[in-house]
Structure 1
Amino acid sequence: SKIRLNLPRTIDEPIINRVEIAGLPIMVYGASAPAMTPEDLSWFVDDVVARSIQGVRGVGGVERLGGVAREVRVTLKPDRLLALGITAADVNRQLRLTSADMAGGRGEVGGQEQSIRTLAASATLDTLGATSIVVTGNRKVRLDELATLTDTAEEPRTFARFNGEPVVAFAISRSAGASDADVSVGVADRIAALHAANPGVRFDLIDTSVTNTVGNYHSAMLGLLEGSALAVIVVLLFLKDWRATLIAAVALPLSVLPTFWGMSTLGFSLNAVSLLAITLVTGILVDDAIVEIENIVRHMRMGKSPYRAALEAADEIGLAVIAITATIIAIFAPVSFMGGIAGQYFKQFGLTIAAAVFMSLLVARLITPLLAAYFLRDQQRHEH
């Protein structure tokens, strides 16, 4: 309202809409059919294509871009109106009352509550022309006696072109919580089925954000695998024991897999932010296990058996390992509770890191000593 006061009074009233990122289209298709008129193709997209695609699991909406919409033009005859003593406003009001398409309440059908819709609009031009209009003296005349009815198309306000050719495009958005990749596959299959049933209509994929989404996922997974491999190699170089290295390496999947369960419990999805968090925390996930296994190996070099070394080493540094993990959680967890737009972006980031580090602590304290006790070899007995 404050900005409106600074704008010229002669302009059209500005329309302000809230844009939800989750509601933006993820795919835009174009439909073309040389044998169809723009009106017929637009109707085909609205009545056949849109209804079919909206039945795909995860699709939130289908919006037509370009094309034209059907418009029935009622051109009143001034001489007839004057002779019958009725005005254009009276005709308009009566048409609004007789051509209704609105909610009609609720009803119970088959033991279930169903919404009821009142459909009183004319289906054909002849039906509309036969509509009775009340004139002076409570007489009734047909609408086509007062006006000329023309079945035409509205003035085009938008257009879509693909490779220089006019098309009727339609944008597809996903519903909240749906996977972009799953929706993309489902829509592609439905488009293929529509093309098979209507070979005269060609469908082209004009734009999609799913390619970037899938690419980001593969890049993140590749980075996770590379980071895991490098972490294992570094552990092997320092411990110089393939058994100890294998125990430390097992901590990675044992920490990551429960993290996915925690993300699902919190309502998080595998997206760029959560995958980035897991990728960045890859090295940290083996830290606790490395500290545990290194201390166990040190105790074994003192002549202790693997079982005794695992018990004493784990008990010796238990508090230090817990303190390290608690410090990392205390640093990253508050990031998820920041306010504003930045807080919405980093909500999954901080909690994902905190969950992954907590899972690595459980693995280091519960599983790593157990594996070391039964998997590491007694060096003294091996030397004898």
Structure 2
Amino acid sequence: MLARIFINRPVLACVFSIVILLLGGISAGLLPVAEYPEVTPPIVRVTAYYPGANALVLADTVAAPIEQQVNGVEKMLYMTSQSNNDGSYTLDVTFAIGTNTNMAQVLVQNRVAIAEPSLPDVVRAIGVTTKKRAADILLAISLDSDVNPATGKPYYDALYMSNFATIQLKDAVSRLEGVGDVFIMGQQDYSMRVWLDPDKLASRNLTVTEVIKVLREQNVQVAAGQVGQPPASRGQDFQYTLSTLGRLIEPKQFDDIVLNTDKNGEITYLKDVSRNTLGAKSEDIMSRLDRRASSGVAVYLLPGANALDTADGIKAKMRELEPRFPPGLKYAIVYDTTPFVRESVHEVQKTLLDAIILVTIVILVFLQDWRSLLLPVIGVLVSLVGTFAVMKVMGFTLNNLTLFGLVLAIGIVVDDAIVVLENIERWMEKGLAAREATMKAMEEITGPIVAITLVLSSVLLPSTALGGLVGQFFRQFAVTISVSMLISAVNAMTMTPALAVLFFRNRKPGKHAEDKEALPWWGFGLLGGLATVWLLTPILGPSLGLTTGEGHGESAPGGLGASLAGLGATLVLAFPGAVGGGVLGWFMVRPVNWTLGFFFRGFNWVFDWATRVYGQIVGWCLRFSAVVLFVYVGLIVLTGFGFSRIPTGFIPMQDKGYLVTNIQLPDSASLERTLEVTDAVEKIALETPGVAHTLCLPG
């Protein structure tokens, strides 16, 4: 018998449970936090840019070669592409749920490499990028400029802010752990805009193609070599590296580009046929914050990363970069998905804690002895904490479904320890000593414990075989409960009987109600420590590293090191309360237990009366079984009727604090016309009570 091994070796049983607790505790600090399990298919994005090309040219010269090669890549579900008139091309390749994103990126990258020789030279020179990222935006940052009181205009225009975001923010945020991609919304990079005059070109017998050719020839970065480089003539004392004017950066430099020289020696400069200005490379899409020009930065999560930790890292990095902003430039986080996730997960965690407290109180009321209370409570903690280790191995996250699974598992896993405990006490009341009673009890209930665990698991585990989105959604829920039940069953057959022998070895066999003690003196120390942690954390927590980041909607830093540091700080705060509570408990434990004993006697009398009444009701139901069966069938029919009438859905409607509106104008509508419509919509939104910001991307 398995239990006999651990009863005879209690140290082995304790070490076994401690190992489970350590593995689970370490894994809990490493688990990613999310609202729901990862159910969206992984996406790999391919981007390319062809300057000056329209959508049709892009589709023929860039999209076609790439898509012909990428199509049919292993585990691909579908792909969607977009060719834009600004020369940008994007291809999103969606893979099956559960696909390794790293391998998917490599497969797509290999296919793109095969297609690159077929792409235009300028596209290959700029580069074709392949990135993996989540489907949805994690958060969006918007740069905004204050108004100059002297001129009444913003200090900085959209072009400056877009360039600042590209240079100062994009790379800094991209390097953060968990960030999959950073996208500048309405990006307007600095570019030299050459406005050619057709009449002047014609008068000088020039074409646009010839101008482009000259620009490419004279606006290049070249290595000019060295003077005095070996092999050199004897007596060469110096060696210099030549520096030449490379890529041009000023409009004046472009003005002086020589286009041609006629037979009379007359030189035609670029300024003779064009107007050259420094402006935005593309103004097809704009970014506006609260009806003002801005620059938006969209951050995408890396698949499998911790959304909360990543968002906290981005906010910390922005606070670090803010002092480097030029005067008058500020930022705002206008879209953030993490506060809702944080609050929803926090509420479930509170529910989990409340469930543990309620279960502890119920066990104490019924068992009325702290020794009997410890066994089920330890069993619950080992089962729940040990589940985190399996969740980490299986790639799960701490989300609403897994936490709800743990909440439901509390009421299930506590039964195993209580069944063992009650059976041990029953044999002790018959006169057996603690060891013999435990041996006898485990011989009787080992089989039922295994059977109960298998039956309950057989109800839940089949849901893991469901395919598609629903199966992926509920798989973590079912596995979490099943794993906790399995650990509970193992714990009930190993540690619970071993500890029962240790706890009850001094209890006299037979009727031993007088031996029961509701609370130990050190229990007051435990309560005192919890009280000081609750009271002192808001005051001393920040100085001890227990910052919750409530001012910025952030949580404490994650990871194993942060978890251990937080545990140490919590113990420091708990120490004074634990000492004071322990001293108080030494003197107060007897009167408190006497008062609880009086309450328990009243409770037992009421419970015995309720048991007798229940027995009478059961007897009446057995005598009139036909009526009971009729009512039972009627309830089943009503249940089926109600089930058919209740509306169905996948996820309940939720208020996440943001509203997305899509405005579609007729084809060929100009940007000016689009701005008139979006400006009116923004005005209505900002005048609506409760609206903090509006972020608009007209184009």
Q: Secondary structure at the match of 1:56?
A: coil
Query: How many Å apart are 1:347 and its aligned residue?
Result: 2.5
In structure 2, what is the equivalent of residue 184 of structure 1? 311
Query: 1:302-360 CA deviation, whole Å, 9 max, x = no partner?
Result: 11111111112112111110111112222222222311111221222222222111111
Instruction: Look up the SS of the partner of 2:494 in the other structure.
Output: helix
The 3 A distance-change label for structure 1 pair 148 and 351 is same
Please, which of 386, 404, 412 is the counterpart of residue 284 of structure 1? 412
Q: What is the match of residue 299 of structure 1?
A: 427
1:46 aligned residue: 166
Q: Which runs of structure 2 are paired with 1:1-384 in the superposition (5 Å)?
A: 22-34=134-146, 35-66=155-186, 68-79=188-199, 81-82=201-202, 86-89=206-209, 91-92=211-212, 123-125=249-251, 143-144=270-271, 146-153=273-280, 154-162=282-290, 165-198=292-325, 200=327, 201-376=329-504, 377-380=506-509
d(CA) in 1 for partners of 2:353, 2:324: 44
TM-score with structure 2 setting the length: 0.46
CA drift at 1:293: 1.2
| Whole-angstrom CA distance in 2 between matches of 1:312 and 1:353 | 30
In structure 2, relative to structure 1, the CA distance for the partners of 1:81 and 1:220 (3 Å cut) is same
User: Contact 1:67–1:156 at 8 Å: present in 2 too?
Assistant: no
Q: Distance in 1 between matches of 2:189 and 2:381?
A: 55
Give aligned-pair identity as a percent.
Answer: 26
CA distance in structure 2 between the aligned counterparts of 1:375 and 1:18, rounded to whole angstroms:
62
Gap regions ≥5 residues in structure 1: 1-11, 102-119
Judged with a 3 Å threshold, the aligned counterparts in structure 2 of structure 1 residues 304 and 55 are, in CA distance, closer, same or farther, namely same
Shifted more, 176-185 versus 248-257: the winner is 176-185
Cα deviations across residues 211-231 of structure 1 (Å, max 9, x unaligned)? 111112211111111111222
| Residues in 1 aligned to 2:341 and 2:220: alpha-carbon distance in whole angstroms | 44
Q: Contact (CA 8 Å) 2:157, 2:293: kept in 1 or not? A: no
Contact 1:84 1:135 in 2 (8 A): no
Query: Partners in 2 of 1:93 and 1:322 — Cα distance?
Result: 81
User: What per-residue deviation string (whole Å, max 9, x for no partner) do you get for residues 196-251 of structure 1?
Assistant: 12252212222211111111221111111111122222223333333212211111
Distance 1:135 1:236, change over 3 A: farther
Change (3 A) 1:135 1:310: farther
CA distance change for structure 1 residues 297 and 69 in 2, over 3 Å: closer, same or farther? same
Question: Using the alignment, how far apart are the partners of 1:240 and 1:62 within structure 2?
Answer: 59
Choose between structure 1 and 2: higher strand proportion. 1
Structure 2 unaligned spans of 5+: 1-55, 60-79, 83-90, 95-132, 147-154, 222-245, 516-699
Asked whether the equivalents of residues 85 and 135 of structure 1 are also in contact (C-alpha less than 8 Å), the reply is: no
Residue 435 of structure 2 aligns to which amino acid in structure 1? Y
Q: Distance in 2 between matches of 1:156 and 1:298?
A: 81
Between the aligned partners of 2:475 and 2:253, the Cα distance in structure 1 is 58
1:98 deviates by 8.2
Sort the Cα spacing of 1:95 and 1:281 in 2 relative to 1 into closer, same or farther, 3 A.
Answer: farther
Question: 2-side partners of 1:185 and 1:339: how far apart?
Answer: 34
Distance in 1 between residues matched to 2:208 and 2:394, nearest whole Å: 60
Total equivalences in the alignment? 354
C-alpha contact (below 8 Å) 2:134/2:180 kept by paired residues? no
Give me the whole-angstrom Cα distance separating, in 2, the residues matched to 1:232 and 1:99: 77
Comparing 295-304 and 165-174, the one that deviates more: 165-174
Q: Is the 8 A contact 1:85 1:136 kept in 2?
A: no
Select between 366-375 and 167-176 the one with higher mean Cα deviation. 167-176
Q: Secondary structure at the match of 1:286?
A: helix
Change (3 A) 1:172 1:133: same
Rg (Cα) greater in structure: 2
